[in-house]
Amino acid sequence: MDAILSQLPDTLPQWYRSCARDLPWRHTKDPYRIWVSEIMLQQTRVEAVKGYYARFLSALPTIADLARCDDDALHKLWEGLGYYSRVRNLKKAAQVIVSEYGGVFPREHSVCLSLPGIGPYTAGAICSIAFDSPTPAVDGNVLRLVSRLTDDPTPIDAPGTKEKVTNMLAAVYPGEAGTFTQALMELGATLCGPNRPPECGLCPCSGFCLGFRRGTAQTLPVKKAKKEKRREEKTVFIFRCQGAYALGKRGDTGLLAGLWEFPNVPGRLEQGDALRQAEEWGVEPTELKKIIHRKHIFTHIIWEMEGVFLEVSRKDSRFVWLTPEELEQSAALPTAFRQFWEEERHV
């Protein structure tokens, strides 16, 4: 394996310079901007991130700006990206950087790794790309690439696999570490990308790739069988009263912590039970406009949701009532609930 990986530093940088995608975060060595891009790119497609990246940095151009940003404004900037714990940890880490490091992003890998929300992959990416440190950033794309290069059938999500690959790559890292890290990422995301056959005929590594030579590249990587996602049923209420809509805020911990939501209860209520629930909340329903079904898939849970759209005559104080303009400007609705708002506002 070492003999194969040792050929990468002479092969990948030249390919990367001529073939890499032109992405906005590749035009900077600023660790803050690299950090923001890496956090946004977790579990999110590159094309979806581009617009968010530009808006986020326009609103919060420095670590200090991020550290003092109001939570609602921060969530609104992140609205639609999902996995909101990412942005909460961004702010927590920014506050640590401001209070302990004078607002300057730390260069040391161990310090970077200690910041909230920064794991081995993100720390490796920031330190190698921003500071040219020989710190590999090993994610699913890199694991796929290495498993094919070395024809290794070990499950890439098995305990110890990521650490083993990290150590093997660290042993061959060149001085131009940032370019090498990005080249590994790029090849693993494009020619050797997920959910499709590898494009071995275009790959700069085909001459020494064991997976290509032995015909096993398309069967790799191997992953352990996934557990079936848990399903939860919910009834979501979209109450409108005098042009305003009822919302509440989720708690400070757990799934979608601190975000806005439409009123909801566990379980799938029948029409009569849904109307009785609305009456119990004191909103005095006057017209049932429609009931629609929607689904939202989280990492480990699937929400099956009935959306009950009701015109009501009373703004009960247990809810916050916002106009459409206020909702759009200041309330970050996670996608699970925003799909009902999209249905309402496009009627």
Return the domain boundaries, the chain: 2-219, 230-345
Show contacts of 18-21: CB within 8 Å, 24+ apart.
19/186, 20/182, 20/183, 20/186, 21/46, 21/186, 21/190
Q: Answer whether 0.95 is exceeded by the pTM.
A: no
Tens digits of pLDDT across the chain (347 residues): 789 999 999 999 999 999 999 999 999 999 999 999 999 999 899 999 999 999 999 999 999 999 999 999 999 999 999 899 999 999 999 999 999 999 999 999 999 999 999 999 999 999 999 999 999 999 999 999 999 999 999 999 999 999 999 999 999 999 999 999 999 999 999 999 999 999 999 999 999 999 999 999 999 999 998 889 999 999 999 999 999 999 999 998 889 999 999 999 999 999 999 999 999 999 999 999 999 999 999 989 999 999 999 999 999 999 999 999 999 999 999 999 999 999 998 75
pLDDT per position as a tens digit, 236-278: 999 999 999 999 999 988 899 999 999 999 999 999 999 999 9
Can the peptide bond before residue 155 be classed as cis, meaning omega within 30 degrees of 0? no
Q: Which residues are catalytic?
A: 38
Fold classified for 2-219: Endonuclease III; domain 1 (1.10.340)
Alpha-carbon distance of 232 to 218, in angstroms, equals: 36
pLDDT per position as a tens digit, 205-220: 999 999 999 999 999 9
When the candidates are 3.30.300.30, 2.60.40.1890, 3.90.79.10, 1.25.40.80, the CATH number that belongs to 230-345 is: 3.90.79.10
Q: Which amino acid is at 58?
A: S
Cα Rg of the chain (Å, integer): 24
